[in-house]
Amino acid sequence: MSETGQPVYMAIVKAISDDIARGTLSKETRLPTHRELADSLRVAIGTVTRAYAEAERRGLIRSEGRRGTFVGEQRSSRSVLSSIAGLPPLGIDLSKNHPSYLLDPDLPSALKEIARNRSAASLLEYSPAAGQMRHRECGARWLSMLGAIAAPESVFVTAGAQHAVSVILASETKRGDVIATERFTYTGVKALAEILDLHLIGLPADEYGLIPEALDSLCRKRRVRVLYCNPSLQNPTNTIWPKERREQIAALAIKYGITIIEDEIMRPLLVEHPGFMTSMAPEQCYLVVSTSKAVAAGLRVGFILASAKAGRALIDSLNASSLGTPPLMAELFSVWLDDGTVDRVIERRREDASQRQALAAGVLNGLRFHGNPSSYNIWLEMPEGWTSMKLAMEAQLRGAVVAPGEAFAVDSKLPYEAVRLSVVSAPTRELLKTGLSTIAGVLKGSSRDNIATV
């Protein structure tokens, strides 16, 4: 153990982190070899190897084989997404914006009901690319309940929102096309832009969402093919675009012929909603909703509301991506929508999020952050002298994991002075309070010994 009580390899990671934060170690600096550092510190070479591996996992350094180990990383958006989705928690994980599994609906009862249905065997057959008609009808009904005018023929079933966005981009874009979004955006869109070789441009936003003048200016200079946005409880900033802002963006889409992907995955959690851009510019928009935030994280069912002219290309894209969405998931959602389970689960999740947001507001009192009673996360701004990566590294050393602004930023050259904190991923509110207290303690200068642990 080191003098601070940490394992020696973690003390090395902390030293690297601190030196990077102070500027003592600049990006691209070549670090000593494992043997050189081990000899210098008089520790086992295995200790250095473990320290370097942990530092690389955190994105502090990168290994280039025989060339050596260097400060900084060159991770792709795909690896950032994988990191957020698959990183094993080291303590209290506030980085993943999953709805609480403790509030999931009763799966065994629904499966029994499906099994009693005479048409259950059809759920093992190939589905049409757009989904079975009864599931499209179910999606249209849910969309109508959420405030969108939807005919079943205009609704397409997907394996969640990420799948929906990917098939829309595949049908609407070609290599090199410009995709506009906000400066901070959903990590999955960054990954898709990289896979499809699209040019993603992040635009300025204010407290009302994407700034129309910024989009207008970009359209005057470049041909913008698609605008991706999630205007209700935007991920990660929690912004809700008011009706006027949506109307302005929809008007620009019509003016410049831009296709809008309106990702409304958080819409079911909102009691009041300003209205969909799909109704303001129906020929320009794809509306995407999903069950994964509202009902259960593992229920991968998404619905696309598309214009008639977009349908053929969308079906081709759906066929190419999955040959039809597995119908059992859609059938589960249909059962739960019919018997009122969806409404009851959403109400429970809304209430739980509100209580957790209130708890977070108390713990983070004195810090600047953006939350919402219906949101699953908080966007915490950094006090002077802090960066998101510095907080993420220090918090993880104390047992709390956060999602730094880098994960959501479109332009990697800009400073990132905020982190996303999930308020629903911790199984209990006591664990949430402990994790948030750890983060507040870091930013307010508490020593490591004074931070609550689990």
Residue 1 confidence class, pLDDT cut points 50, 70, 90: low
Query: What pLDDT is stored for residue 417 in this prediction?
Result: 86
Q: Is pLDDT above 80 for 79? A: no
Q: What's the mean pLDDT in 215-219?
A: 97
Q: Is pLDDT above 90 for 27? A: no
Is the bond preceding 236 in cis, omega lying within 30 degrees of 0? yes
Q: Give the tens place of pLDDT for each residue, 57-78.
A: 777 888 877 778 888 765 554 4
Rounded to whole angstroms, how far apart are CA atoms 262 and 232? Answer: 9
Q: Is pLDDT above 90 for 229? A: yes
Query: What pLDDT is stored for residue 207 in this prediction?
Result: 95
Q: Give the tens place of pLDDT for each residue, 313-364.
A: 899 999 888 877 889 999 999 999 999 999 999 999 999 999 999 999 999 9
At 229, which helix (H) or strand (E)? strand 224-229
Query: What pLDDT is stored for residue 434 in this prediction?
Result: 95
Query: What pLDDT is stored for residue 413 in this prediction?
Result: 64
Query: What pLDDT is stored for residue 77 in this prediction?
Result: 47
Express as a percent the part of the chain with pLDDT over 70: 91
pTM above 0.85, yes or no: no
Q: Give the tens place of pLDDT for each residue, 6-16.
A: 688 888 888 88
Own/partner contacts of 205-209, CB < 8 Å, gap of 24 or more, are 205/234, 205/237, 205/239, 207/239, 208/239, 208/241, 208/242, 208/245, 209/182, 209/234, 209/239, 209/240, 209/241, 209/242, 209/245, 209/249
